[in-house]
């Protein structure tokens, strides 16, 4: 991202941490941009909003330097960079998409993502243990976010073979349980969606 002079949009207290890292890689600290909850930033034709997530947001001591890093490691503690976040993206064609990030079930998925932003496309984690599993993620989609289409992510498993979903996987369980049209991301394949959340290209 430093070479491309791209912006890194983050919520909570992560912006200052990444600004230091970017500067250390010969980039501009201003490439790290904070977007607080309830606020938005527009990049190109896309408006980016952060929404709450429910997940740990700790920083491993390996990312720290000096005596402080050793003190953190010796005490077995993790430094928090503030609350976890998800994102709502509003594209220039009018499509509103919810990117859950890593999260458990949270009431904001109904109140904020569905009721206020009215997301028509969602990307939801289904990996279980550290986030919602396939059953919980399907329930969130069916009862809270209620998108037109959903892309499952962070499955933490070999989920497909020759472009087909493997049976007895978390991915297969999610696709079976969710009422929205479910899509599985495939390497090298691009999907496009209209403002109503329906896939218009690269759908299968």
- What is the residue-wise DSSP string for 37-50? BT-EEEETTEEEEE
Does the structure show a pLDDT above 90 at 94? yes
199 and 181 in contact (C-beta within 8 Å)?
Answer: yes
pLDDT for the residue numbered 12 = 72
Does the structure show a pLDDT above 80 at 204? no
Averaged confidence pLDDT in the chain: 92
CATH 3.30.1360.120 fits 40-201, yes or no: no
pLDDT for the residue numbered 103 = 94
Confidence tier at 84 by pLDDT (50, 70, 90): confident
13 by DSSP, 3-state: which? Answer: coil
Does the structure show a pLDDT above 90 at 95? yes
18 versus 140: the higher-pLDDT residue is 140
Beta strands in the chain (DSSP E): 8-10, 32-34, 40-43, 46-52, 58-59, 79-80, 85-90, 96-99, 121-125, 149-153, 160-161, 164-165, 181-183, 192-193, 199-201
Does the structure show a pLDDT above 90 at 39? no
């Amino acid at each position: 991202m430093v070479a491309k002079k791209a912006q890194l949009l983050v919520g909570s207290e992560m912006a200052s941490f990444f600004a230091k890292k970017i500067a250390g890689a010969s980039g501009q600290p201003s490439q790290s941009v904070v977007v607080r909850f309830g606020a938005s930033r527009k990049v190109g034709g896309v408006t980016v909003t952060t929404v709450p997530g429910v997940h740990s947001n700790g920083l491993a001591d390996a990312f720290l330097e000096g005596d402080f890093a050793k003190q953190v490691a010796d005490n077995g503690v993790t430094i928090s960079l503030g609350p976890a976040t998800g994102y709502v993206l509003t594209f220039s064609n009018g499509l509103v998409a919810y990117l859950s990030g890593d999260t458990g079930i949270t009431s904001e998925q109904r109140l904020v993502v569905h009721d206020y932003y009215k997301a028509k496309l969602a990307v939801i984690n289904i990996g279980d243990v550290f986030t919602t599993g396939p059953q919980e993620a399907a329930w969130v989609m069916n009862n809270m976010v209620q998108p037109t289409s959903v892309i499952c992510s962070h499955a933490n498993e070999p989920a497909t073979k020759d472009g087909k979903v493997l049976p007895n996987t978390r991915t297969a369980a999610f696709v079976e349980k969710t009422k929205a049209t479910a899509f599985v991301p495939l390497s090298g394949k691009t999907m496009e969606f209209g403002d109503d959340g329906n896939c218009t290209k690269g759908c299968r």
